[in-house]
Homo-oligomer: A and B are copies of this chain.
Amino acid sequence: MSRRSATMQDVATAAGVALKTVSRVVNSEAGVSDATRERVEAAIAELGYVPNAPARRLAGGRAGLLGLVSFVDPHGDAGVGATAELQRGALARCRAEGLGILLHPWIDGGPLDVESALRLIEQRSVDALIVTPPADTPELLGGLRELDLPHVLISPSEDAGDSPQVVCTERRGTRDMTRYLHSLGHRRIAFVTGPPGTAARRERLDGFISSLREAGSEPDPGLIVQGSTSFRSGLSSGRLLLDRSDPPTAILCWLDEVAAGVLAAAHQLGLSVPTDVSIAGHGDVPLAGRTWPALSTVRQPLADMGAAAAGLALRALRGEAIAGTCVELRTELVIRETTANAPG
């Protein structure tokens, strides 16, 4: 029954006006008398007219969509919560502007399909790309810059160059937590860091080391261990640290996911948290509020970051020059139940 849907011309005929007038009404442009506008609106309502997006795009040159290139771990191990939060923020902002979001996740852990990501813009499917780590590979960024395609980076893994970006206060976040633990009397604080070569990892580690030094204690190299992004890696890092003859009294992790693993390791070893050992994460992803005890962590405003990225992209689409722009959002300490005074 769904007959060919009404076109703008149909509406124009029904309202007895020209095509262009309908276009004006639909796009709420000026230059239409109230009487005419009402007549057109009535016709639109009666015919159930809905504008045809592809036609609009062809004629107008705008896709009306933002592409989101993010990473989705096939085993749901890493960043599930983070990606979802980012999406949420970006979506809310886009919807407010009448834009949509097209997903282009790097799914399988295999090599990122740079070609298809770039093509997304080249073929006008989206107007701009928002790229999140670890999809921000040199290849992708190189292509983006070379072809001069509009894009925004979120917490870039590497030097972002001139690309507009949204970051948060990584170093400060870790410093706040380190100081907090220090203020609780902890003097043997361990740090579980991530794989080498990402900016966030570097900054968090720096924040840890520098604030320890500021507080007058030299970090013990044996208490800095390298994990990855997974719960499992937290499990083994935790065991490593807590099995020592001189275990730390607090363990700070560069990611919530990893902290959850360390927490599980502590439980397995029969330690009670936070009485025997304090544990803290970074990110404040949903998981952080669901562990037992609930994880103290550094809150990253992920949804806000997504929204800010969408906002930057929108400005770029309006023609503003945003190259080199960097929006920095503040982290904050979220103290839940895994941190307490140092034992003894």
Interface residues of A (CB under 8 A from B): 1-2, 5, 50-55, 57-58, 63-65, 72, 74, 76-77, 80-81, 83-85, 87-88, 91-92, 95, 100-105, 107-108, 119-120, 122-125, 147-149, 231, 257, 260-261, 263-264, 267-268, 285-287, 289-294
Verify A80–B231 contact, CB threshold 8 A. Answer: no
B289 engages A292 (CB within 8 Å): no
Given A2-B147, A103-B101, A104-B100, does the pair A125, B290 have CB atoms closer than 8 Å?
no
Known: A104-B100, A148-B2. Is A77-B286 also a contact (CB below 8 A)? yes
From known contacts A100-B104, A105-B91, A147-B2, infer whether A54 and B63 are also in contact, taking CB-CB under 8 Å: yes
Given A64-B125, A77-B286, 8 additional A-B pairs, CB 8 A: A2-B148, A2-B149, A53-B63, A58-B58, A88-B105, A100-B120, A267-B293, A292-B292
Contacts of A57 in B (CB 8 A): 54
Q: Assess whether B63 is in contact with A87, with CB atoms less than 8 Å apart.
A: no
With a 10 A CB-CB cut-off, give which of A54, A63, A147 has the most chain B CB atoms.
A54
CB distance from A333 to the nearest CB of B (A): 19
Which of B54, B119, B261, B291 touches A124 (beta carbons < 8 Å)? Answer: B54
Select from chain B the residue with minimum beta-carbon distance to A58: B54
Determine how close the nearest CB of chain B comes to the CB of A14; give it in whole angstroms: 18
Q: Quote the shortest CB–CB distance from A34 to chain B (angstroms).
A: 25
Distance of A321 from chain B, by nearest CB (Å)? 15
With CB as the reference atom, state the residue of chain B lying closest to A108. Answer: B92
CB-CB < 8 A to A287: which residues of B? 286-287, 290
Q: State A53–B58 Cα separation when bound (angstroms).
A: 9
Contact check, B102 vs A100: say whether CB atoms are below 8 A apart. Answer: yes
Residues of the B chain whose Cβ atoms lie less than 8 Å from the Cβ of A100: 102-104, 120, 125
Identity of the chain B residue whose Cβ is nearest the Cβ of A75 in the assembled complex? B286
* B-chain residues with CB within 8 Å of residue A2 when the two chains form the complex: 147-149
CB neighbours of A264 from chain B (8 A): 290, 292, 294
B88 touching A51, Cβ below 8 Å:
no
Q: Does A74 contact B50, Cβ atoms closer than 8 Å?
A: no
**CB neighbours of A257 from chain B (8 A):** 290
CB atoms of A87 and B58 under 8 A apart: no
In the bound complex, what is the Cα–Cα distance between A339 and B1 (angstroms)? 55
Contact A76 B65 (CB under 8 A): no
